[in-house]
Structure 1
Amino acid sequence: MSKADELFCAMCADILENGTTTEGQKVRPHWEDGTPAYTIKQFGVVNRYDLREEFPALTLRRTALKSAMDEVLWIYQKKSNNIHDLHSHIWDEWADETGSIGKAYGYQIGQKSHYPQGDMDQMDKVLYDLRETPFSRRIMTNTYVFADLSEMNLYPCAYSCTYNVTQTPGSDKLTLNMVLNQRSQDVLAANNWNVCQYAILLMMVAQSVGMIAGQLVHVIADAHIYDRHIDIIRELISRPKLAAPRVSLNPEVTDFYGFTTDDLIVENYEHGPQVRNIPIAV
């Protein structure tokens, strides 16, 4: 069975059984009808996925892997903050009349800084450092820029990636690992979406610099289940768990900026029925 399923079910059970509630407190999110959106939450959740063992897609229900990759490309490859460059509609609620979400996500990744080696944005600096000084402990991206928060239509949720390289004895290639830091997560709507997104990002970067994609460590400061999601979660985690799909990238692409969603190869993805019409708090 999928290890991602096991981790997801254990996390959800822990939140439901041992979490704390925000009911009655002053909260920002509201439901479409104006009702406050309360949560059951757990602080400081850490999940570890090893991409050398399997790809961490849920089989309890389907995760739209190519759409997840499309958002990754939008942020880290296109470095865009405009929904017209994105094929899904997940950001429509936070876009202005021009399609912009403000100085968020891709805007921050594309900001250039001056280094002795030349001017580079955040993603280019990651790729440069992994090629030139792979064992550096300073290789990361960060979109939570305080000076620009007032001009972001939504503060970044998954905001920081730290890359770390290890050498496995006997292996000709280095292993690339990532820590993903997330300040807040709607577990039902976004957990596996984010996990799969950053697993694909890790795979893309590793392939671009000639490394093996290793561990993805996902740190969530506030992992929460909304009150209107509780029954959906209980049903979801009671479902049968299936074998993880095989997910890979087109081996001919070695330029990070050359990847498209057509280069994501998904095989043997068996899953339970999709959950329809999930209410989203905004």
Structure 2
Amino acid sequence: MKQYLDLIKHIRDHGVKKEDRTATGTQSIFGHQMRFDLSQGFPLVTTKKVHLKSILHELLWFIRGDTNIRYLVENGVGIWNDWPYQSWLRETDQEADFPMYSPEWKAKMKEFIQRIKDDDEFAQQYGDLGPVYGHQWRNFEGVDQLAQVVEDIKSNPDSRRLIVSAWNPKDIPVMVKSGLPPCHSLFQFYVTEGRLSCQLYQRSADVFLGVPFNIASYAILTLMIAQVTGLEPGDFVHTFGDAHLYSNHMDQVEELLSRETYPLPTLAINPAVDNLFDFVFEDFELLDYQSHGPISAPVAV
């Protein structure tokens, strides 16, 4: 994962200080690209432990077109919880009583998540993030982009229109309400010599916390689509707009950079699955993943 570590070093050493929506502050660059050859191993960061379970469940959640965090929390995945939780506090005039990340805030979060699991009406009202990734992938103004791109790869692999977009300007104000406008906003596939490659454009990237998830998620998606279209995996190309390190992640960055890397693991996928929408969590197995321990850092909401 030298490409990822080089990006972090580049932002640390050459980024500019920039304010942001969360009022946390960042060190930021504009424009960068990484390339991963998926035939050379699964690109999962080894200098800190990355929670593949969360990545897989989130990706399956996107693919099924779901936008409610209930599926995620039922499967022990909390990566989307902060946004709807904070929105609920705000809408119910409790935000001032529970300062973000305070012990009281964390305790109230547990109550919120339990209600999402147990209360259908509550989950429907406060657990839905609006028309975010899954909705746009599967129902962009009535178009199932994901199903269409799989068919187009099979029928017209030389097409230059193998694109899925999550950026729907009409829906951005709705997404802002309880979630985020898409950060990984558009991806394109490319077929050559029997290999499937994918390029992602990410408009905004939390490089310490989010990018390891994004790399792994789109690598998995590429492997899945390659399998169901009868192709070999090619490259995953990751292109950034605003790539940033939050100011309260800098100590964690130094810890990460002080660690040695390990060889990349392998992701085994059930070869019997030939339909993208039939994959389940149990169809994936991570092999030979050796990593350093996790490094926690606060999420900027």
User: What is the aligned partner in structure 2 of residue 68 from structure 1?
Assistant: 55
Indicate yes or no: 2:130 matched with 1:102.
yes
Indicate yes or no: 2:159 matched with 1:148.
no
The structure where helix makes up a greater share of residues is: 2
Distance (whole Å) between structure 2 residues aligned to residue 192 and residue 125 of structure 1: 28
TM-score by length of 1: 0.87
Gaps of 5+ in 1: 30-35, 115-119, 168-173
Distance (whole Å) between structure 2 residues aligned to residue 17 and residue 50 of structure 1: 27
Instruction: Letter of the 2:290 partner, please give it.
Output: E
User: What is the aligned partner in structure 1 of residue 13 from structure 2?
Assistant: 17
Runs ≥4 residues deviating over 4 A: none
- The alignment's C-alpha RMSD in Å is 1.4
Indicate yes or no: 2:144 matched with 1:121.
yes
User: What is the aligned partner in structure 2 of residue 232 from structure 1?
Assistant: 252
**SS across alignment from 2:210:** helix
> How far apart are residue 113 of structure 1 and its match?
6.4
Distance (whole Å) between structure 1 residues aligned to residue 244 and residue 298 of structure 2: 14
Instruction: Letter of the 1:10 partner, please give it.
Output: D
**SS across alignment from 1:235:** helix
Instruction: Letter of the 2:298 partner, please give it.
Output: P
Distance (whole Å) between structure 2 residues aligned to residue 279 and residue 130 of structure 1: 39
Distance (whole Å) between structure 1 residues aligned to residue 278 and residue 265 of structure 2: 24
More moved, 58-67 vs 203-212: 58-67
TM-score by length of 2: 0.82
Instruction: Letter of the 2:49 partner, please give it.
Output: R
Instruction: Letter of the 2:223 partner, please give it.
Output: M
User: What is the aligned partner in structure 2 of residue 33 from structure 1?
Assistant: none
Give the total of aligned pairs.
256
Among 18, 21, 29, which residue is 1:28 paired with? 21
Distance (whole Å) between structure 2 residues aligned to residue 93 and residue 257 of structure 1: 28
Among 179, 183, 197, which residue is 2:203 paired with? 183
**Contact 2:54–2:79 (CA under 8 A) maintained in structure 1:** no
Distance (whole Å) between structure 1 residues aligned to residue 60 and residue 197 of structure 2: 19
Identical-residue share of aligned pairs (%): 32
**Contact 1:66–1:264 (CA under 8 A) maintained in structure 2:** no
Among 174, 179, 185, which residue is 1:159 paired with? 185
Alignment deviations for residues 238-280 of structure 1 (CA, whole Å, 9 cap, x no partner): 101111112121111111111112111211111001113x111
Distance change (3 Å), C-alpha of 1:222 and 1:112:
closer
Indicate yes or no: 2:78 matched with 1:89.
yes
Distance (whole Å) between structure 2 residues aligned to residue 200 and residue 84 of structure 1: 23
